[in-house]
Amino acid sequence: LLSQDQLEAEERSRVQRSQSTALVSTRREPPPYGFRKSWVPRALEDFGDGGAFPEIHVAQFPLEMGRKKRTSNALAVQVDAEGKIKYDAIARQGQSKDKVIFSKYTDMLPKEVLNEDDPELQKPDEEAVNELTEKTRAALEKQVSQKIAAAMPVRAADKLAPAQYIRYTPSQQGLAFNSGAKQRVIRMVEMQKDAMEPPRFKINKKIPRGPPSPPAPVMHSPSRKMTVKEQQEWKIPPCISNWKNAKGYTIPLDKRLAADGRGLQTVHINENFAKLAEALYIADRKAREAVEMRAQVEKKMAQKEKEKKEEKLRELAKMARDRRAGIKAHGDKGGEDTEVRERDEIRHERRKERQHDRNISRAAPDKRSKLQRDQDRDISELIALGQPNPRTSSEAQYDQRLFNQNKGMDSGFAGGEDEIYNVYDQPFRGGRDMAQNIYRPSKNADKDMYGDDLDTLMQSSRFVPDREFSGADHGPRRDGPVQFEEDPFGLDKFLEEAKQHGGSKRASTSGRSKDYDHEKKRRKE
Amino acid sequence: MFVLLQDVQKHSVHTLVFRSLKRTHDMFVSDHAKAVALDDQSYKMKMAVKMRAEYKPVLHMPVLKEGRERGPLHASDPYGQLGYPLPGALPHYLVTGTHPYPSAPGVALTAETQMQKMPFLNSGLLPRKAPTMPKPQWHPPWKLYRVISGHLGWVRSIAVEPGNQWFVTGSADRTIKIWDLASGKLKLSLTGHISTVRGVAVSTRSPYLFSCGEDKQVKCWDLEYNKVIRHYHGHLSAVYDLDLHPTIDVLVTCSRDATARVWDIRSKANVHTLSGHTNTVATVKCQSAEPQVVTGSHDTTIRLWDLVAGKTRATLTNHKKSVRALVLHPRQYTFASGSPDNIKQWKCPDGNFIQNLSGHNAIINTLAVNSDGVLVSGADNGTIHMWDWRTGYNFQRIHAAVQPGSLDSESGIFACVFDQSESRLITAEADKTIKVYKEDDTATEESHPVNWKPEILKRKRF
């Protein structure tokens, strides 16, 4: 039951007693177990090489373990040789003391302009440079050779360095250690490397890169802030290609053209275009006028010709009429004449029309006759033209939709089918009505008049003029119903002359009527 | 001078010493309390000698700005050195002699012993010097005298042969052409690259030509056979620039993959991969003194590298925009870097900032420097600015016209070099021509005067 002080005093005396000259570790050993009653470990050394003492009821932190440390990465404020605070300690955290780091404001300031041959600005002298070169070359050689050796195949085993001998004086001394000896001699030999050993470690693993070296302090003022105006100046409109549209965006037309810049250009048209157009217009008008005038003139000419011809014809006709009138007896055959004439005219006209149609069909076979055209006409056209109205048929007409009632709603509607046209069940008038309207005489049209066999009747040769009895002589051949004799007295001739002289001197162009003049002509001949 | 009237008597040492003591006593017995009166001339001489002998290295120390502003400007004294004025000139300074009594403030023994006012007004103990702006050296202006066309694409790089007979150009038409320097005629065309040739270099130690391109290839051409003999494989992206070490057989290339690689020429091994940049490394320069490798990058930093370890020595972050051009001064221990904000000069080996050369507000693609101190900066818009290296005075601006047939927007300078005689400047341009400039002989100092308007107080902050 010794107090701490007494224990210390004992220790001191013990030390004094052992008068050894060898190095002894002066360690403060804690008192052995059982003798620790009023002993409290205060310093780190009091723990010796052991831990805390559970029987001593005091908070103990051997090796500083167990203390609540507030870990902060704050650096302690350091002061340099002149007494100024080292503010660049932060910038120099992970690096060696002698690394060149610029962090002061004065590093940014321009220095005074020095003379050219100022010693500060001179390159280091030759020897220093050569020395540096050699050093660098050696280092690089080593690197290169290492790399090449790594790549080259296995060679002979390296000769290892010879053994080294080391004299060692351990710090722990005593009879127990080293069997009482104060020093030891150690023989150090390099371990032999197995030349055939394959590589021991896998180096194909990819690991992420380590953190970079701490960033250097930025030695310039921060960039100027960007104003809104400047930002607007640098705005680039999105690209709208005239060729590609990968996502298939629908882009309004003005944006499509905007990229091209076409809207910005003013279109310059040469004024000669307008002049050309005007000139063409004028020329066209002039040409038309000229053509019109020419046509008019020609029409007038043609008309004049026609009139002339008509005049001539009229005169001829008149002449013929006069001659006829002259030959014929004066009778009031005027009325008959006019009727005959009218009938003739009508006949004439009809013949002409027929001829005309025949000519057309000969000349332009594609051109259909009126009849054919009306046959092929569409119903709307017929209506438009005001062709014969649809005949109300005798039977009552029913709406087709009323039929097929079992079809139900679909009847007539046909389920919405657009292609079917089923509003009407019968055609408008068919083609038969037109055909019905046209008089088409059948073969036996005059059946009720002449009986069935019109052909046989026509070909009967019973009623033949000048049928002679069999065996009779041929009588005088008769050309016409009345056979005239030759002119015995020459009265015709006389009368003609008289007529000719009596009337004006006219060329004797007789009318073309077949019946009379043809006869006359024959008589003359 | 003096005529010896009598022979010098030979006395013993004891006698001589006693005599001298006696004489001293006689001289000073009357008032030895008083300080020795300073003789003007002797004082001047003493100070001059002392300053030169003991304080010569410190004479031209940079003066702090505070000192300059607050302190009064002194007229330069006759020595042209620091302002240690004469005792009578300004009452502010006094070199006090030795007193038997220590000088206490406020206690004046006699009028003569009165200590004058405190010597310095400011805290800085540096002497204030009248800031004399150095006058820039006059350089004759440069003029264009030859245009060489022959390339079918932008001419991206130029290198001149050490014997100054020919120069090489690399172009965007994937060919490398060798031209005769004197006549400008094409000597040889080399094909082999599959994309733009971005950098060419001719070795001074062996008959090799090195070229690098945007196709990640770095080729070594043997100029005796005009064939490719080596490829340096390893870059992951376009290789933008390359440089050869002047004394060691080592090639350094820099690339768009944010690394620079150091290659052993003979074995094609990639000795070091200098990584640390975070964006394209645009330019690299090698020298034999420290720092041996300097790189400039599009992440606006310049890194100085330790070639032995393959690690960054220092990072210079002063630029605000990409650094596309670097140049090392051939005689001085300085280098310059170019960026669209300004061109900065630095001191080796640690990269201490020296000064700014501002005025060329364009993307600077290339820098070149002369032994006469002419710095040329070539920009992406076709302008060339000529600067005096020492003072930063821009003495000429050139904007050459484009080759006929080219658009005006096709003017830009990608590379420029001085030939080995440093009398011809060869530029590689974007209108597919090579332009050669020389100094105008007819110009004189009077015809092209120096119009130097420096800023006395460098108030700009960078």
Taking the C-alpha atoms of residue B38 and residue B33, their distance in angstroms, rounded to an integer, is 15
Place of tokens 């380590």: A210
Taking the C-alpha atoms of residue A142 and residue B267, their distance in angstroms, rounded to an integer, is 13
For residues B393 and B373, the answer to whether their CB atoms sit within 8 Å is no
Place of tokens 């290198």: B159
The larger pLDDT score, comparing residue B461 to residue A438, is at A438
The larger pLDDT score, comparing residue A132 to residue A472, is at A132
With H, G, I as helix, E, B as strand and everything else as coil, classify residue A229.
Answer: helix
% pLDDT > 70, chain A: 81
Residue A156: its pLDDT value, please? 65
Q: Which of A186-190, B345-349, B361-365 has the lowest mean pLDDT?
A: A186-190
Question: Cβ contacts of residue A80 below 8 Å, gap of 6+?
Answer: A86
Taking the C-alpha atoms of residue A123 and residue A217, their distance in angstroms, rounded to an integer, is 28
Residue B91: its pLDDT value, please? 41
As a whole number, mean pLDDT of residues A6-16 equals 77
For residues A86 and A78, the answer to whether their CB atoms sit within 8 Å is yes
State if pTM tops 0.80: no
pLDDT at A524 over 90: no
Place of tokens 């690089």: A140
The larger pLDDT score, comparing residue B403 to residue A375, is at B403
The dihedral built from the CA positions of residue A54, A56, A58 and A62, taken in this order, carries a sign that is negative
For residue A174, the tally of other CB atoms under 10 A from its CB is 12
pLDDT at B457 over 80: no
pLDDT at A513 over 90: no
| Helices vs strands, H then E, count in chain B | 3, 28
For residues B374 and B136, the answer to whether their CB atoms sit within 8 Å is no
Tally the C-alpha atoms within 13 A of residue A474's C-alpha that lie toward its C-beta.
Answer: 3
Question: φ and ψ at B131, to 5 degrees?
Answer: -70, 105
Bridging pattern class, strands B175-180 and B186-191: antiparallel
Tally the C-alpha atoms within 13 A of residue B455's C-alpha that lie toward its C-beta.
Answer: 11
- pLDDT band per the 50, 70, 90 thresholds, residue A195: confident
The larger pLDDT score, comparing residue B159 to residue A362, is at B159
pLDDT at A413 over 80: no
% pLDDT > 90, chain B: 70
Question: How close, in Å, is residue A233 to chain B by CA atoms?
Answer: 19
Which of A127, A134, A144 to mutate: most B Cβ within 10 Å? A144
Q: Chain B, 51-90: which have a CB under 8 Å from a chain A CB?
A: 60, 62-63, 65
Question: φ and ψ at B245, to 5 degrees?
Answer: -75, 135
- The string of pLDDT tens digits covering residues B39-60 is 899 989 999 999 989 888 888 7
Say which amino acid occupies B40: D
The dihedral built from the CA positions of residue B46, B47, B50 and B56, taken in this order, carries a sign that is negative
Residue B70: its pLDDT value, please? 44
Alpha-carbon separation of residue A284 from A150, A277, A288, B73, B326 (angstroms) = 97, 10, 6, 99, 78
pLDDT at B86 over 60: no
C-alpha A42, offset from chain centre: 90
Residue B69: its pLDDT value, please? 45
Residue A351: its pLDDT value, please? 93
The continuous run of DSSP H or E covering A89 comes out as none
Asked if A221's CB is within 8 angstroms of B314's CB, the reply is no
Beta bridge partners of residue B189, listed in sequence order: B177
Say which amino acid occupies A66: G
Residue B163: its pLDDT value, please? 96
Asked if A140's CB is within 8 angstroms of B391's CB, the reply is no
- The string of pLDDT tens digits covering residues A480-505 is 778 777 777 888 888 888 887 765 55
Query: What's the 3-state SS for A360-414?
Result: HHHHCCCCCCHHHHHHHCCHHHHHHHCCCCCCCCCCCCCCHHHCCHHHHHHCCCH
Residue B117: its pLDDT value, please? 46
* Chain A contact for B375 (CB, 8 A cutoff): no
- pLDDT band per the 50, 70, 90 thresholds, residue A24: low
- pLDDT band per the 50, 70, 90 thresholds, residue A18: low
pLDDT at A437 over 70: yes
- pLDDT band per the 50, 70, 90 thresholds, residue A523: low
The per-residue pLDDT of chain B, averaged, comes to 85
- pLDDT band per the 50, 70, 90 thresholds, residue A286: very high
B320: closest CA among B303, B305, B301?
A: B301
For residue A254, the tally of other CB atoms under 10 A from its CB is 8
Asked if A219's CB is within 8 angstroms of B318's CB, the reply is yes
Selecting from A137, A143, A216 the residue whose C-beta is nearest the C-beta of B317 gives A216
With H, G, I as helix, E, B as strand and everything else as coil, classify residue B438.
Answer: strand
Taking the C-alpha atoms of residue A103 and residue A106, their distance in angstroms, rounded to an integer, is 9
Place of tokens 């649809």: A390
pLDDT at A429 over 70: no
B283-294 per-residue burial string, b: 16 or more CB within 10 A, e: under 16? bbbbbbbbbbbb
**Six-digit token string for A230:** 């400047």
Residue A424: its pLDDT value, please? 74
Question: Cβ contacts of residue A58 below 8 Å, gap of 6+?
Answer: A40, A41
Question: How close, in Å, is residue A45 to chain B by CA atoms?
Answer: 43
Say which amino acid occupies A225: K
- pLDDT band per the 50, 70, 90 thresholds, residue A323: confident
For residues B357 and B366, the answer to whether their CB atoms sit within 8 Å is no
With H, G, I as helix, E, B as strand and everything else as coil, classify residue A436.
Answer: helix
pLDDT at B293 over 90: yes
pLDDT at B82 over 50: no
B216: closest CA among B234, B242, B200, B202?
A: B234
Q: Which of A142-151, A285-294, B59-68, B90-99 has the lowest mean pLDDT?
A: B90-99
- pLDDT band per the 50, 70, 90 thresholds, residue A368: low
Question: How close, in Å, is residue B355 to chain A by CA atoms?
Answer: 4
Q: Which of A182-186, B4-8, B316-320, B402-406 has the lowest mean pLDDT?
A: B4-8
- The string of pLDDT tens digits covering residues A210-230 is 888 888 999 999 988 999 999
A212: closest CA among B275, B425, B309, B454?
A: B275
Most confident stretch, A158-172, A257-271, B107-121? A158-172
As a whole number, mean pLDDT of residues B175-201 equals 97
pLDDT at B83 over 50: no
Bridging pattern class, strands B227-231 and B239-244: unpaired
Residue B263: its pLDDT value, please? 97
For residues B199 and B209, the answer to whether their CB atoms sit within 8 Å is no
The larger pLDDT score, comparing residue B48 to residue A196, is at B48
Q: Round to the nearest angstrom and report the end-to-end CA distance of chain B.
A: 65
Residue B74: its pLDDT value, please? 42
pLDDT at B329 over 50: yes
pLDDT at B79 over 80: no
**Six-digit token string for B374:** 């002419």
Say which amino acid occupies B294: V
* Chain B contact for A32 (CB, 8 A cutoff): no
The dihedral built from the CA positions of residue B173, B178, B180 and B181, taken in this order, carries a sign that is positive
- The string of pLDDT tens digits covering residues A114-157 is 887 788 889 999 999 999 999 999 999 999 999 888 888 766 66
Place of tokens 């005067």: B449
Q: Which of A159-173, B101-115, B202-216, B443-457 has the lowest mean pLDDT?
A: B101-115
Asked if B314's CB is within 8 angstroms of A99's CB, the reply is yes
B157: closest CA among B299, B282, B335, B329?
A: B282
The continuous run of DSSP H or E covering B202 comes out as strand B197-202
A109: closest CA among B313, B130, B339, B68?
A: B68
- Is the ipTM higher than 0.95? The answer is no
Taking the C-alpha atoms of residue B345 and residue B348, their distance in angstroms, rounded to an integer, is 10
With H, G, I as helix, E, B as strand and everything else as coil, classify residue A234.
Answer: coil
Question: How close, in Å, is residue A56 to chain B by CA atoms?
Answer: 55
**Six-digit token string for A283:** 């020329």
Q: Chain A, 196-255: which have a CB under 8 Å from a chain B CB?
A: 212-213, 216-221, 223
Taking the C-alpha atoms of residue A367 and residue A222, their distance in angstroms, rounded to an integer, is 96
* Chain B contact for A152 (CB, 8 A cutoff): no
B197: closest CA among B187, B205, B189?
A: B189
pLDDT at B119 over 50: no
The dihedral built from the CA positions of residue B270, B271, B277 and B283, taken in this order, carries a sign that is negative
Asked if A218's CB is within 8 angstroms of B355's CB, the reply is no
pLDDT at A253 over 60: yes
As a whole number, mean pLDDT of residues B167-173 equals 97
The larger pLDDT score, comparing residue B84 to residue B430, is at B430
Taking the C-alpha atoms of residue B92 and residue B120, their distance in angstroms, rounded to an integer, is 8
Nearest CA in chain A to B60: A114
B73-76, long-range: CB within 8 Å, 24+ apart, which pairs?
Answer: B73/B128, B73/B130, B74/B128, B74/B130, B75/B130, B76/B130, B76/B132
Asked if A148's CB is within 8 angstroms of B269's CB, the reply is yes
* Chain A contact for B320 (CB, 8 A cutoff): yes
The dihedral built from the CA positions of residue A196, A200, A205 and A209, taken in this order, carries a sign that is negative
With H, G, I as helix, E, B as strand and everything else as coil, classify residue A258.
Answer: helix
* Chain A contact for B180 (CB, 8 A cutoff): no
Question: φ and ψ at B308, to 5 degrees?
Answer: -65, -50
Alpha-carbon separation of residue B94 from B56, B88, B174 (angstroms) = 22, 9, 75
Say which amino acid occupies A411: S
Question: At what angle are helices A491-502 and A271-327 packed, to 10 degrees?
Answer: 130
Asked if B333's CB is within 8 angstroms of A221's CB, the reply is no
B391: closest CA among B461, B455, B305?
A: B455
For residue B443, the tally of other CB atoms under 10 A from its CB is 16
Residue A25: its pLDDT value, please? 58
Tally the C-alpha atoms within 13 A of residue A200's C-alpha that lie toward its C-beta.
Answer: 3
- pLDDT band per the 50, 70, 90 thresholds, residue B31: low
Radius of gyration of chain A (CA): 73
Asked if B318's CB is within 8 angstroms of A132's CB, the reply is no
Question: Cβ contacts of residue B248 below 8 Å, gap of 6+?
Answer: A133, A136, A137, A140
Which of B251, B332, B344, B459 to mutate: most A Cβ within 10 Å? B332
